[in-house]
Structure 1
């Protein structure tokens, strides 16, 4: 039996970027421009990030996250369930975030 493979961080990043972009309904070129890339290279750069050829620097990742309305941590999360929780958390008000934290602590004790 071959050894189990885990996706590389760059492929996880690309997968999450593609998911967030689709969720936002933005084409690659538009996302790139909104995040601060030049129009002439934006589509190719976003494509390289999504395909895992390159991974952007953290500062640009934060720009992508801001445009897409997701926390930057989402792009690096290997666990699909945790990634979904991160998205829900981002959509919550501060009081609801506190409730979630308390509930998570309670569930972890059982």
Structure 2
């Protein structure tokens, strides 16, 4: 997992670490510290947890795993374009 992308997506969504954790199903008493540890790269969440984060943050799951930053941003843009309402 590319840890700084989690923080970037969270801040773009204007969520605190605690709020993101709780919305992703982490117990409120540990949500802030766990998300902080994930964002700092101290620990890596399992794929299921990352899927919950992706759903809450409205990003594709793969966004957190793509090594190339430019490609990750293109995937994110494509994801959002595919979710846009059709005219």
Q: Provide TM-score, normalisation by structure 2.
A: 0.90
CA deviations on 1:31-71 (whole Å, 9 max, x unpaired) are 00000001110000000000001111101100000000000
Which entry has the higher C-alpha Rg, 1 or 2?
1
Q: SS state of the match for residue 36, structure 1? A: coil
CA distance in 1, matches of 2:5, 2:29: 24
Q: Compare relative contact order (CA 8 Å, sep 6+) and give the higher one, 1 or 2.
A: 2
Long gaps (5+) in structure 2: none
Long gaps (5+) in structure 1: 1-9, 95-110
Aligned length: 83
Bigger mean CA deviation after superposition, 40-49 or 81-90:
81-90
User: Where has structure 1 moved over 2 Å in runs of 4 or more?
Assistant: none
Backbone CA RMSD of aligned residues: 1.2
